[in-house]
Amino acid sequence: MSTNPRHIALVAHDNKKASMLEWAAFNRGTLTRHHLYATGTTGTMLQHELGLPVHRFFSGPVGGDQQIGAKIAEGVIDILIFFWDPLEPQPHDPDVKALLRLAAVWNIGVASNVTTADMLISSPLFSGLYQPVRPDFGDVTGELVSAAASRTGAPERE
Judge whether residue 111 has pLDDT over 90.
yes
The pLDDT of 28-51, averaged and rounded, is: 95
pLDDT tens across 52-61, in order?
999 999 998 8
- Domain contains 69: yes
- Domain contains 149: no
Active site residue 65: yes
Q: Which domain holds residue 60?
A: 7-132
Q: For the chain, how far is it from start to end, CA to CA, in angstroms?
A: 43
- Domain contains 143: no
Band of pLDDT at residue 152, cut at 50, 70 and 90: very low
- Domain contains 138: no
pLDDT tens across 48-82, in order?
999 999 999 999 888 999 999 999 999 999 999 99
- Domain contains 154: no
Distance of alpha carbon 31 from alpha carbon 100, whole angstroms? 22
- Domain contains 39: yes
pTM above 0.75, yes or no: yes
Q: Over the range 117-140, which residues count as b (16 or more CB within 10 Å of their CB) and which as e?
A: beebbeeeebbeeeeeeeeeeeee
Band of pLDDT at residue 133, cut at 50, 70 and 90: confident
- More confident: 63 or 140: 63
- Domain contains 73: yes
Band of pLDDT at residue 141, cut at 50, 70 and 90: low
**pLDDT score, position 134:** 82
Band of pLDDT at residue 153, cut at 50, 70 and 90: very low
CATH number at residue 88: 3.40.50.1380
Query: Catalytic residue among 65, 78, 118, 136, which?
Result: 65
Total domain count for the chain?
1
The pLDDT of 4-28, averaged and rounded, is: 95
- Domain contains 145: no
